[in-house]
Amino acid sequence: MTAEHTAEWVERAIAQAEPGSAHPSRELQVLERIERARRRKPKVREELITLAHGAGGKATRTLVEAVFLEAFRNPVLESLDDGAALDVNGSRMVFTTDSFVVSPLFFPGGDIGDLAVNGTVNDLAVCGARPLYLSAAFILEEGFPVADLRRITDSMAAAAARAGVHVVTGDTKVVQRGKGDGCYVTTAGVGVLDRKITLGPSTVRPGDAVIVSGPIGEHGITIMIARGELDIAADVTSDTASIHDLVATLLDTAPVRMLRDATRGGVATVLNEIAEAAQLAIMVDEPAIPIRPVVNGACELLGLDPLYVACEGRFVAVVDGAHAEAAVDALRRHPLGEAAAIVGTVEADPAGLVLLKTVFGGTRIVDVLVGDPLPRIC
Amino acid sequence: MTAEHTAEWVERAIAQAEPGSAHPSRELQVLERIERARRRKPKVREELITLAHGAGGKATRTLVEAVFLEAFRNPVLESLDDGAALDVNGSRMVFTTDSFVVSPLFFPGGDIGDLAVNGTVNDLAVCGARPLYLSAAFILEEGFPVADLRRITDSMAAAAARAGVHVVTGDTKVVQRGKGDGCYVTTAGVGVLDRKITLGPSTVRPGDAVIVSGPIGEHGITIMIARGELDIAADVTSDTASIHDLVATLLDTAPVRMLRDATRGGVATVLNEIAEAAQLAIMVDEPAIPIRPVVNGACELLGLDPLYVACEGRFVAVVDGAHAEAAVDALRRHPLGEAAAIVGTVEADPAGLVLLKTVFGGTRIVDVLVGDPLPRIC
C-alpha cells in the first residue's frame, strides 16, 4: 500500500467515525499513527557517511529515504523493492542493480564474481521475474592482478551459465592505487514477469506463514573468518547461489504474498521490512530457524546474533498459511532448499513488530539492525 | 559482420578463386588478413592493471577482448556496442551500463551525478533507443559528506528530468576510508527501440559522411583544469548533456549508418573503432573539426591532441553522404548541435585506418589511443 492509499484510507475511516467521538476506534488510531510516521520526513542526522550507512539496516534505510527517495521520487522507486517492476512496450519486466564491494574478494564457497551474478539474479527472482540479462561494470584499482580479474570473470561466467542468464553489456574503469580495493563489481539485471501474480506487503494477511529457504548466516560468517582477523577456524562456506529456480518451485506450489532475499542485515532485517510495510506482526519461533551448529557456534564466539548475519542464497517468503506445509515439502526436494522451514506466522498485532519466541520460552522484540557488525560482506 | 560470417565469406571466396592461382585477388588477401586478425586471440601482456586499461583506448580494448569477451562470450556482447540490443517478450530494447569515477566529483558545467545520468542516456541514444529507466548504484567512502551526496543526487534527478527518464532502482555500499574516493556511481539504463533501423559497422559504405555533433574536447579539458594540478585557467565548461533528443533529430532527417558518443579516448578512438569494425577508411578533414579556440589553446599548452580528449555530450555519426548536408542543417537548429559539422568521409581504402588531412595539407594516420593522458575523466 502506498502512502497515498493509506492517506485515502485514513480519511475514509475518519469520515466514517462517529462525529464528536472522544474515543476514535483503535484501528483509526493505528492508521493515524502510520500516516503520521509516513508524513514524517526521515532525516540523516550524521554529516558524514559511516559504514553503517552501507550495512542494510536502520542507517541505510534512513539514507535511502532521506536522500535517494527525496531526489528521485517516483512510484516505482518508492516501493523500495529488491527490483523495479516496469512496463516496457507492453512487456512486464523487472530491473535491478547492486554494487559488490566484498572483502576479501575470494572466500570459501565463492568470490565477488559469482556473488555479483547471484545477487542480481536473486533480486530479480524475489520480484517474481525470470532473470534474463545482466550488465557488469568493474571499478579496478591500479595494480590489481589481471589473473585475479580473470578468476572473477570466469566465476561470473560460470554463475551466469548456472542461472541461465547472459552478461550482455559492461564497462571498465581504473582508479589509482589507494582509491579502491582491488575490484568492485556492479551488476544490473533485467528479467520478465511471466506469472500473473502480485507480490508485496499489501497482500500479506494474518494467518500467513513465514518460510526461510535454508540455513541462515553462512555467507556472513564465512566472510568474517576469511578476513583472518579472528582467531577462529570453522568449516563453513558461503551459501552464495542463484535461487531463481527454488523461487519458481515455491511459486508453482503455493500462493506467495511476498519474497525477499536475506542479504545485508540478515533475516531479522527482512522480517522487519515486511512487518513494517504490511503493518502486521511477525511471530518467529526461534527453534524452527534453520541454522547450522558451526554458524551458531561462530556467532556465539563473535557475539553476533545469527538473525542479522547475511545469507547470499536464502530467501524469506510469506505464503498462505494453508499451503505452507506443502510449500516447504516442495522446497525440501530442491537441492538448495533441503533445510527450508516454516519459522513463523503473521499476526495482526502488534502491527509493525517482529517478535521472537525464544528457545527458553520467552518473547523478545527483534529490532532492525543498527550499526554495522560486518562491513563489506557483499 | 560476425567472425563466423567472415569465415564463411573467406571460404566461399577461396572456393571461387581460380585453382592454383599464385595471385589471389586483392579482396581475398584483405579478407584473409581480417580473418587472421580475428582468429588471433588478443592477449593482455601486463600482469597488473594499469590506468591505461581504463582509458578507453588500445589497452581497454585488449582487456575487454581478452578477459571479458573470453569469459562472457555471446553474440550480443561481441558486438561491443555502447549498449546491448535485446529481445524481451517480443519488445526490442537496449540495456547498457557505465561506472563513473570522475575526479574531481564537481567541476564547471556538471558533476559525477549528471555525468552518470547523461552518460547512460547517451549510450542508449546512440544505439537508437528511446531512454526510459535508469538504475543508480553508489559506492561511498566512509567520511564522505552527506551534503555532497545530496548535491550529486539532486543533480542526477535534474538530469533525469531533462532527459525524461526515471531512476527506478538503486543500491548503496560503503567502503572504509582509503578504499574509495568519496563517491563512485554506476548507472545502468533500459530503453526501447521504437525505430525500425539497423545501426552498426556493417551498414557503413564508402561515400558516407562522418558528422561530429558539436565542439570536441570540452569535458576532458574542463576536468584537467578542475584538478588544479596545472597552472592554467581557461573559460571552459564540461559539455555533459543528454543527447537523445539531438540523436532523434538526426534519425528523423537522414539515413544513419552508425552512432557513437565520443567519451573516453575522444573522437579519434570512436573513428578508429568504426573504421576497424567496418574495414573501411575514414578521411578526416582537420579544419572541419568543430573545436573552441580555448580548448585548442589548452590542448597545445598541455601537449594533448584534442581528437583524443573526451566529450560527454557529443556524438560521431556516419550518415548517407547524400543526406549529410541536410542532417547537419537539422542538427544546427538544435541547441546541442549548433556547431555540428561534416568532418570527413568514408572511403574504401586503406581499410581499417583513420587518416587526417591536416591544416597544412599533409595526411597522417590517426591511431587508437595508447596510454592514458587523462585518467578518471568520467
Residue B370 has pLDDT above 90, yes or no: no
pLDDT at position B263 over 50: yes
Please indicate whether, in this complex, the C-beta atoms of B153 and A86 are within 8 angstroms of each other. Answer: no
Out of B90, B95, B375, the one facing A168 most closely (by C-beta) is B95
State whether A304 and A239 are in the same domain. yes
Question: Exposed, middle or buried by CB within 10 Å (0-12, 13-18, 19+), for B232?
Answer: exposed
pLDDT at B296 exceeding the cut of 70: yes
In a shared domain, residues B260 and B174: no
Which residue among A76, A147, A188 places its CB closest to the CB of B166? A76
- From chain B, pick out residues whose CB is under 8 angstroms from the CB of A190: 86, 88, 95, 190
Q: Is this complex's ipTM strictly greater than 0.85?
A: yes
Element (H, E) at B89: none
Read off φ and ψ for residue A362, nearest 5 degrees: -85, 175
CATH number of the domain to which B154 belongs: 3.30.1330.10
Q: For residue A39, what pLDDT is reported? A: 59
Average pLDDT over residues A1-20: 39
Q: Is the pLDDT of residue B16 over 60?
A: no
What local confidence, expressed as pLDDT, does residue A56 receive?
87
Residue B370 lies in a domain: no
CA distance B1 to B14: 18
DSSP H/E element including A238: none
Greatest distance between any 2 Cα atoms in chain B: 75
Task: For residues A175 and A304, state if they share a domain.
Answer: no
Neighbours of B270 (CB within 10 A): 29
Nearest to B88 among A93, A99, A144 (CB): A93
- State the Cα angle at A38 between A36 and A43, rounded to 5°: 105
Report the residue from B46, B84, B153 with minimal CB separation from A133. B84
Q: Say if residue B267 is in the same domain as residue B144.
A: no
A314 in the same domain as A172: no
Of A24-28, B109-113, B208-212, which gets the smallest average pLDDT? Answer: A24-28
3 state DSSP class of B193: coil
Q: Looking at B142, B166, B192, which one is the last position of a domain?
A: B192
A95–B139: do the CB atoms touch at under 8 Å? no
Quick one: what percent of chain B has pLDDT higher than 90?
76
How confident is the model at residue B187, as a pLDDT? Answer: 98
Does the pLDDT of residue B261 top 60, yes or no?
yes
- Mean pLDDT for all residues in chain A: 89
* Chain A nearest C-alpha distance from B332 (Å): 32
Residue of B nearest to A81 (CA): B169
Chain A residues close to B70, C-beta within 8 Å: 153
User: Are A160 and B72 within 8 A, CB to CB?
Assistant: yes
Cβ contact A376–B63 (<8 Å): no
In chain B, which residues have their Cβ closer than 8 Å to the Cβ of A229? none
CA distance A75 to chain B (A): 8
> For B39-81, what is each residue's pLDDT tens digit?
567 889 899 999 999 998 889 999 999 999 999 988 888 777 7
CA gap A102, B68 in Å, rounded:
20
A101 vs B375, residue with greater confidence: A101
Cα atoms in the 13 Å half-sphere on the side-chain side of B99 = 30
Q: What is the pLDDT of residue B295?
A: 95
Measured in angstroms, the CA of A360 and the nearest CA of chain B are apart by 37
* A44 domain-assigned: no
Contacts of A180 in chain B (CB under 8 A): 179-181
Residue predicted with more confidence, A72 or A74: A72
Q: Residue A75: which of A144, A1, A166 has the closest Cα?
A: A1
Residues B225, B250, single domain; the answer is: yes
* Residues A229, A154 share a domain: no
Question: First-to-last CA distance in chain A?
Answer: 30
DSSP letter string, B120-167: HHHHHHHTT-EEEEEEEEEEEETT-BHHHHHHHHHHHHHHHHHHT-EE
Return d(Cα B66, Cα B40) in angstroms, integer. 11
Calculate the dihedral angle through the C-alpha atoms of A187, A190, A195, A199, rounding to the nearest 10 degrees. 50
CA distance A3 to chain B (A): 17
* A181–B179 C-beta distance less than 8 A: yes
CA–CA min distance B366, chain A (Å): 24
Supply the pLDDT for residue A48. 97
Pairing relationship of beta strands B281-285 and B354-357 according to DSSP bridges: parallel
Going by pLDDT thresholds of 50, 70 and 90, the confidence category of residue B201 is very high
Domain boundary among B192, B224, B250: B192
pLDDT: which is higher, A176 or A58: A176
Beta-carbon separation of A145 and B170 below 8 A: no
Cell of B368: 587508437
Residue from the list B137, B153, B157 with its beta carbon closest to the beta carbon of A186: B137
By Cβ distance, the residue of B146, B171, B180 closest to A98 is B171
Instruction: Note the pLDDT of residue B226.
Output: 94
* Mutation site, A120, A173, A193, interface B, largest B CB count within 10 A: A173
Which of B48, B99, B147 has the CB atom closest to A146's CB atom? B48
Q: Is B113 helix (H, G, I), strand (E, B) or coil?
A: helix
Lowest mean pLDDT among A169-178, A367-376, B10-19: B10-19
Residue B376 lies in a domain: no
Q: Report, as an integer, the average pLDDT of A33-54.
A: 78
Does residue B147 carry a pLDDT above 60? Answer: yes
B208 and B224 both lie in a single domain: yes
Q: Measure B169 CA to nearest chain A CA, in Å.
A: 6
Radius of gyration of chain B (CA): 21
Q: Which of B93, B149, B179 sits opposite A180 (nearest CB)?
A: B179
Nearest to A311 by CA among A247, A260, A255: A260
Identify all chain A residues contacting B88, using CB atoms and an 8 Å cutoff: 88, 91, 93, 132, 190, 192
CB B226 within 8 A of CB B104: yes
Inter-chain residue contact B77 with A169, CB threshold 8 Å: yes
- Pairwise CA distance, residues B164 & B142, whole Å: 32
Parent domain of A26 = 3-39
B315 shares its domain with B356? yes
**SS3 (DSSP) at A285:** strand
Residue A34: pLDDT band (50, 70, 90) is low
Query: Does B14 have pLDDT greater than 60?
Result: no
With an 8 Å Cβ cutoff, are A51 and B142 in contact?
yes
For residue A245, being part of any structural domain is answered with yes
Q: Closest partner residue to B143 among A48, A146, A171, by Cβ?
A: A48
In a domain, B373, yes or no: no
Are residues B290 and B360 in contact, defined by beta-carbon separation less than 8 angstroms?
Answer: no
Indicate the number of domains in chain A.
3
Q: For residue range A202-220, list pLDDT tens digits in order.
A: 999 999 999 999 999 999 9
- Please check whether residue B371 lies inside any domain of the structure: no
Q: Do A171 and B138 touch (CB under 8 A)?
A: no
Mutate to test the interface with B, among A51, A135, A261 (most CBs of B within 10 A): A135
Position A55 in a domain? no
Split at pLDDT 50, 70, 90, the class of A90 is confident
**Which pLDDT does position B87 carry in this prediction?**
85
Domain boundary among B52, B80, B108: B80
First vs last C-alpha separation in chain B: 30
Average pLDDT over residues A234-262: 96
CB contacts, 8 Å: B78 with chain A: none
Cα separation, B2 vs B101, whole angstroms: 32
A29 has a pLDDT exceeding 80: no
pLDDT band at B19 (very low <50, low <70, confident <90, very high): very low
Specify the higher pLDDT residue, B242 or B74.
Answer: B242
**Confidence at residue B134, expressed as pLDDT on a 0 to 100 scale:** 98
- A52 to chain B: closest CA residue: B174
Nearest CA in chain B to A131: B88
Same domain? A230 vs A188:
no
* CA–CA distance, A205 with A209 (Å, rounded to integer): 9
Best interface-test mutation with B: which of A43, A67, A74, A99 has the largest number of B CBs within 10 A?
Answer: A99
C-alpha span between A270 and A273 (Å, rounded): 5
Identify which of A86, A156, A376 has the shortest CB distance to residue B175. Answer: A376
Q: Is the pLDDT of residue A91 over 60?
A: yes
Element (H, E) at A308: none
Whether omega for the bond prior to residue A104 falls within 30 degrees of 0, making it cis, is yes
Asked if B57 and B371 touch (Cβ cutoff 8 Å), the reply is: yes
Q: Mark yes or no for CB contact B188/A192 under 8 Å.
A: no
DSSP string for A154-205: HHHHHHHHHHT-EEEEEEEEEE-TTSS-SEEEEEEEEEE--S----SGGG--
- Write down the pLDDT at residue B36: 58
Query: Do residues A163 and A265 share a domain?
Result: no
Residue A179, C-beta contacts closer than 8 angstroms, at least 6 positions apart: A141, B101, B180, B181
Residues A320 and A223 in one domain: yes
Are the beta carbons of A153 and B190 separated by less than 8 Å? no
Residue of A nearest to B184 (CA): A139
What average pLDDT does this structure show over A272-280? 95
Give the CA distances from residue B7 to residues B36, B80, B156, B201, B305, in Å, rounded to whole numbers and listed in that order: 10, 19, 46, 17, 37
Average pLDDT of the residues in A21-40: 52
Residue of A nearest to B194 (CA): A89
Contacts of B222 (CB under 8 A, 6+ apart): B107, B108, B109, B236, B237, B238
Asked whether the predicted pLDDT for residue B32 surpasses 70, the reply is no
